[in-house]
Structure 1
Amino acid sequence: MAMTLPLEWDDDERMYFLFSAFKRSRDVDSADWDSKIAFWIPLIVKHAKAQGLLSITLRQVQAAFTRNGITPLGLETVVQEMLRRGSLQRESDFTTSITSGWVSWGLRQLVVKPLRWTLGSVLGGQLNLDEPFVVPEVIKEQADLVLQKYQSSPLSSVPLLCEEDVHGLCKDLIPSQSAFQLVLLQLLKDKKICLLQRDGEKLVKFVKEGNVTPIGDTDLGIYELQKSEKLLSERLESACDESTRLTEEAKSFNKAGNKRQALRCLRRRRLSEKRISALQSKLDTVQSILERISMAETDRKVVSAYQIGVSTLRSALKDVSLEKTESLVDQIQEFCDLQDDINQTISGVGTSDLDMDTDELERELNEILQTEEVDLPEVPTGPLITSPQRPPAGHQDNNTAMDMSGILSALPDVPSGPIPAPPAMGQSNQAAAPQAQRALPQ
């Protein structure tokens, strides 16, 4: 990935100053010294990140920042200042800074020996141009990426891995073997992995559930079983391929008329099938053991969760007993009964004056109903119908019958006796009463 150079890089006057050599001492001109240091240190770290360089040399830095054929004169001073501040570290200092008292293994034999490192001595006050210097900030970022890649891969379910498997997992990030060793050291420093060298094999155990424990006999036993499973699977696949090949050869020889060779191929195929059966049986046994170990681990976690739950429940019920609970229930019932009595007493206040005889209330209701005036319908003011119009014989109009029935049903019932004349009425009203009586239907 290409690095974006600062805007000052195109300013010839500014770059002439930054490419010049440092003063003999910072005390001579502190502003000159600090200005150059503030420019070059972040730029070198940025270059290492952009190129994915876990370690750099002075020669590489000089080549990377050559401008118009001119190499900065003060880069050696910059690198020395970065070493003093910790922005760079010698590989020897980086490896010896790893504390591994919590895991038993030979650090020098496991990691340091494969590294490409030198003593890094200063010869005549000058740095070795080809001495590698570790960039801790870049190594830290790469170590985090390796851990994330492991956690998101199918290998995360495997408790113990060989170094080759881990490097193969992140080879696209860190192709160099020596750089990968530095990343392992950083993960070890951060206590994200545990390392062990056994029978010339380097084993890696990643952090689980927030912590990492030293590699024990259980981890080694599971690792050996998984190696056996892998080996048996490979041999079983090879035996199946051989059986298939022998079958095809037998067919080919038989077709060519070479029956003797065909029978020999079938004989070898039977031996291969017996080997397949034996390998399959062993593989099933190993896989069954691994499955039981996995179930045992799950059961252990469940039992641990039960223990935590019991402990929490015990703490929650520490001050609670059956006798205390019964006493509290009795007190609650007692106060509820008391509240009911209080409510009953409050609801009966002032109601004695309102208590009256039910018979007296019924008599009062009857009197009100007897004296209540009944509203009669108003007398029509239009002309009265003297006689209904009847249709001709044999014909009946349904609409007319419906209209007449509606009119008749709207009229009030006629009393059976004579209708008395209304009091204080004029003579015209008295004459109209008999006509109204005749107009009503019988």
Structure 2
Amino acid sequence: MFSRLFGKPKEEPNTLSTLDKLNETLEMLEKKEKVLQRKIATEIEKARDFTKAKNKRAAIQCLKRKKLYEVQVEQLGNFQLRIHDQMIMLEGAKATTETVDALRSGAIAMKAIQKATNIDDVDKTMDEINEQTENMKQIQEALSTPIGAAADIDEDELEAELEDLEHAELEERLLQPSTTQLPPVSVPAYSRPTQVPAQRTAPQKSAEDDELAELQAEMAL
């Protein structure tokens, strides 16, 4: 009933629809401006023709119409500036609104998380984790503890024995003479000596020959 009497309530336009409407209006104004620019050029051309024809009155009328068109072009330019200004403001308001909505959504989500997460539950969970960690540490220590014969080995005795071995090795190194390794001497290669034929030696005298010569010497005396 109220809708029939007063009509339907006007729906508030949202930012997107308003921006679309402003864009359409801006395009319409730009088209009108182009038409007026063409009319201005036509009037200037007519005024030149009338001036050449010595028709001063007609030329003045053309210039008057040109002036009127120029006034309309200036008005359209102001309208376009107003629309551009309005679009910039709406786009800024839209960005601000979206930012606020995003922040509000984040605050609601954080509140829901905090409500779902109880601080007592968090403390209980951390205590359980620490307890499990300590139990695992004890298990690992128990598994790494030596058993049997290995448990009877004295670590201090092994350390002392190791020190004795190290001292003995050090003394052995000090007692060894320091020998310097000489570089290998390169022997020049030489050719194999040729075989020299053996010279004939005079035959050696025997003992009988010596006795004979001695006897001859006595007889001669």
TM-score by length of 2: 0.49
Q: Which has the larger radius of gyration?
A: 2
Q: Which of structures 1 and 2 has the larger relative contact order (alpha carbons within 8 angstroms, sep 6+)?
A: 2
